[in-house]
Structure 1
Amino acid sequence: MSAAIPAETLAYKVLTGEQRAELESGTFGGAPVDLADGYIHMSTADQVTATVDKHFAGQGDLHVATVDLTAFGPSLKWEVSRGGALFPHLYVPLPLAAVVAMEPLSRLPDGSVALPQPE
């Protein structure tokens, strides 16, 4: 049995259906905004609902990938972004091996995004 992954080592990447298919092929190089900025944007558990509301409003076929950050070392940087908060930015392609859970985007009764939980 594997040990639970600490919540502070997890981040979340919102993907379109097409982007999910790319990730499932082995690696995800990034969404257009990621490619333009030079890194893959991710969010913490506390940030993901605002990210979806701001950047994905009205879009369907969305998925949330739970990413284990422990393997990235210096290619992962915590940088100031929206509202002065630190966000995880990945400066290499996202490998499927780092994704510990992935589900279609759904909302909880309070409106927050349901976060896929690693098994």
Structure 2
Amino acid sequence: MLIYKIFRADEWAALRHDGTTRGAPIDVSDGFVHFSTAEQAAETAAKHFAGEADLMLVAVDTDRLGDALKWEPSRGGALFPHLYREMRIGDVTWAQPLPLAGDAHAFPPGFADEA
């Protein structure tokens, strides 16, 4: 199963350069890297990245994360994937730009089919 992390340009550049990341400041503060499922990603983008350009949508296969991935209740009681270790560049299955299209972000073609 694929899960998704939205990175700002500087966060994505740091992961590519360093090979690992503890995530955005909220991830560091919370003690885990926040991910979303395909069904949750658009709401995550709207809630936490509204109006932001230069984003990257990164897909990660849950099989690569092992026991460090936990599914925990969050927004509205839905289970969200949380990674309790640093994210590694080797975890990334694919990455695509997540541009703004008007007031919302334009997810890549076929993305909704992964939900």
Question: Out of 24, 40, 63, which is 2:16 matched to?
Answer: 24
- Cross-structure match for 1:95: 88
Instruction: Indicate yes or no: 2:40 matched with 1:42.
Output: no
* Conserved? CA contact 1:66–1:115, under 8 Å: no
- Between the aligned partners of 2:106 and 2:92, the Cα distance in structure 1 is 18
- Between the aligned partners of 1:114 and 1:36, the Cα distance in structure 2 is 27
Which sections of structure 1, spanning at least 5 residues, go unmatched?
Answer: 1-8
TM-score in terms of structure 1 length: 0.82
TM-superposed deviation, 1:106: 3.5
* Conserved? CA contact 1:12–1:44, under 8 Å: yes
* Conserved? CA contact 1:103–1:116, under 8 Å: no
* Conserved? CA contact 2:53–2:99, under 8 Å: no
* Conserved? CA contact 2:54–2:99, under 8 Å: no
Normalized per residue, the structure richer in strand is 2
Identity across aligned pairs (percent)?
45
Aligned CA-pair RMSD: 1.9
- Between the aligned partners of 1:66 and 1:113, the Cα distance in structure 2 is 15
- Between the aligned partners of 1:116 and 1:20, the Cα distance in structure 2 is 21
* Conserved? CA contact 2:45–2:105, under 8 Å: no
Instruction: Indicate yes or no: 2:50 matched with 1:57.
Output: yes
TM-superposed deviation, 1:112: 6.7
Normalized per residue, the structure richer in helix is 2
